[in-house]
Chain A
Amino acid sequence: MSIKEKIPVNKETLKERAIKKWRDTKKNANITRELVKKNIKIQYRNSVIGIFWTVLNPFLNMLVMYFVFGTILNYSETDKTYALYLLCGNIIFNMMRGATSQSLTSLVHNRGLLTKNKISYYVFPLSNNLSALVNFLFSCIALLGVMLFVWIRGESVFSWNILLAFLMLPALFLFNYGMSMILATLYVFFRDIQHFYTVFLTLWTYLTPIFYKIDKIDNGKLSGKFIAGVINLNPMYHYVEYFRDVIYRCSSTGQAVPGNLMRLYLIGAAFFVIGVIVYNFTKRKYIFYI
């Protein structure tokens, strides 16, 4: 064997590389689809009412919160559509919670797959985020039910403006996906992040106006101003509020209250880009740590 013979076959051609890339992309898309299907199917397999639980769950949650906070904070008397207020906040926040807390452990939990097959690390957070999105769409059925109820009682006006709500979903998805990648990476290197994140999620829940209303917070005192400032820095506040502007506030007036959609996309894109950078920077090391 001479040296001359060996050199020309040493490199893959550009075309070969492109074909490989395309094949990998298709493969990863297929895996993502199957993972999402599996996630959704398994989630409620062992319950009697099965997939309906996805619809019922946010509704029952809302009832509990309505009972507790509606009474304590007296919202149920001052606001006839408080149920709608609650549900809007709840399902948006739960989409984020579901996506990120599932993704946190996803790389490590799927180590059996990742160490034995060539699968893109992007697939696992992505499939969890898509599952969360599907769950969110199921929750929207509950939301529609409550909207119908409020509308029949004559406490709201119907308007097609509610469809504007879908405009924010891609932005929220980007935000969630970015967060998911950052968290999944952290978990690969530091397993105790899980405990921190559980506590952090509780804090996050309280710093997002899900059951309370923000106008009561800024009472003019320094502490009130501070908390209002912190809440304003919370990305979830802006997502929840936009969704509410369209679904809840719009329903009482019948007119669209245009929120700042641009801001939502900027936040989402920023987190997504950070997530991708973190992922690309560290993904070569994952295999040794998961």
Chain B
Amino acid sequence: MVNLMENKENLQNENIEVAQSEVVEVKEPENIIEVNNVSMEFFLPNEKVDNLKEFVIRLIKGKMEKKKHKVLDNISFSVKKGESIGLIGHNGAGKSTLLKILTGIMKPTEGSVMVRGTVAPLLNLGAGFDNEASARENVYLNGAILGYSKREIEHKYKEIVDFAELHDYMNMPLKNFSSGMVARLGFAIAIDVNPDILLVDEILSVGDENFRKKCAAKINELRDRGVTFVIVSHNMSQIKNLCQKAVWIEDSHMRAYGDSKEVCDEYIKYCNSLKH
């Protein structure tokens, strides 16, 4: 019963916010991602007590109440199989938090999230890199984090090194790598995945011009293969190119949701109006 109500609400929201809804599908492909009324609350970082001394002092003073900050407020959208969606909005609007919720790193305070199939989060290139370990060891570790078995990584190893063009450096500790090289290695491992859903957080522009072109080609290849992208980006043309839909999050609220071109244009208009 509650479910029904929620969905009715959803529907109303969508009707208001989606001008010409393309959501109505004839052959109804199933939803691969569903986000229903998701809200997320944090404690403000400066209110956080992270040591025993402070904790005891506050306990004695009786100052233990904490202020909560709403990062996401009632976000709902869905993505169908084969579609991609872009998340846009200003810095700190809550886009990355939403990606973390989709990954399952965080659980929403309210609402529910349903994600079908394998998810590869590319929230940060080389997040699991250890500077002391060699590049080769890092490939294996990072591969395991992305969900490959040992055999799969061994199989892909050559491909990854080829893509990153780092043949001569694989036995070198990562601390001796330049930041561009680290990013290239991270991207090469990350992009060599075969997930149903790829969550991407502003990482599509690493390395030099040549490498960037290679990345773009790889991403188009994945898109043509039917991988669903969820992209956080400030590059509107990229969103328009890759995604059918877009969600504009402004100040933790969902400002607009619908066709990516329309939402992006609206967002650009809004940004321009702020400048003047």
Contacts and interface: CB of A to CB of B under 8 A. Distances in A.
Contact of B145 (A9, A117, A288): A117
A118 B104 contact: yes
Interface in A76-135: 112-119
A41 B141 contact: no
Given A42-B130, A42-B133, A31 B50 contact: no
A112 B186 CA distance: 14
Nearest to B115: A12
Contacts of A289: 48, 50
Interface of A: 1, 3, 5-7, 9-12, 16, 23, 26-27, 30-31, 33-35, 37-38, 41-42, 45, 112-119, 189-193, 196, 284, 287-289
Contacts of B207: none
Interface in B1-55: 3-4, 7-8, 10-11, 23-25, 28, 30-31, 34, 36, 42-43, 48, 50-53, 55
Contacts of A33: 144, 150
Given A16-B116, A38-B130, A31 B24 contact: no
Interface of B: 3-4, 7-8, 10-11, 23-25, 28, 30-31, 34, 36, 42-43, 48, 50-53, 55, 100, 103-107, 114, 116, 118-119, 121, 123-124, 127-128, 130, 132-133, 137, 140-141, 144-150
B144 A192 contact: no
Given A1-B11, A116-B127, 15 more contacts: A5-B28, A6-B31, A7-B7, A9-B34, A12-B116, A27-B144, A30-B144, A31-B144, A35-B141, A38-B141, A41-B137, A113-B128, A116-B124, A117-B103, A117-B127
A128 to B, nearest CB: 14
B7 A6 contact: yes
Contact of A118 (B10, B50, B105): B105
Given A1-B11, A116-B123, A190-B51, A11 B114 contact: yes
